[in-house]
């Protein structure tokens, strides 16, 4: 996802806060079964180097978990938190699986 309107619309959907990130999910309501994903990390988290490192970690998490755990026909947004930088990758992956399961219910 790249358009701001898509991120704002996803903000009105369901959310699952985790220590390293917040997952937002909103069904689009169209006939397209594609799973769309967006990433955002605010300047509060750190400088550009830190924010880009966290976005790379979030992309790797989503690439592994969304094809099987994501909801078809929905927009997913991962919002990075400062704890996501130091949190072990295995814990982040476990958190993402838990968040996806929570939002699918």
Question: Domains, the chain, ranges and CATH?
Answer: 4-104 (3.30.230.10)
Please write the tens of the pLDDT for every residue from 34-59: 999 999 999 999 999 999 999 999 99
Distance of CA 23 to the CA centre of its chain: 4
**pLDDT score for 25:** 94
**pLDDT score for 105:** 82
Q: What is the pTM of this model?
A: 0.90
Rounded Cα–Cα distance for residues 94 and 30 (Å)? 30
Rounded Cα–Cα distance for residues 41 and 89 (Å)? 17
Q: Is the pLDDT assigned to residue 29 strictly greater than 90?
A: no
Mean pLDDT of the chain: 93
Q: Is the pLDDT assigned to residue 32 strictly greater than 90?
A: no
**pLDDT score for 104:** 85
């Amino acid at each position: 996802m790249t358009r701001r309107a898509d991120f704002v619309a996803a903000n009105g959907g369901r959310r699952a806060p985790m220590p390293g990130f917040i997952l937002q999910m909103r069904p689009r309501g169209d006939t397209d079964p594609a799973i769309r994903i967006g990433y955002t990390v605010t300047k509060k988290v750190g400088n550009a180097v830190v924010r880009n490192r966290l976005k790379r970690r979030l992309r790797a998490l989503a690439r592994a978990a969304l094809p099987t755990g994501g909801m078809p026909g929905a927009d997913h947004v991962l919002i990075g938190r400062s704890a996501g930088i130091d949190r072990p990758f295995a814990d982040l992956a476990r958190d993402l699986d838990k968040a996806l399961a929570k939002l699918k219910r």
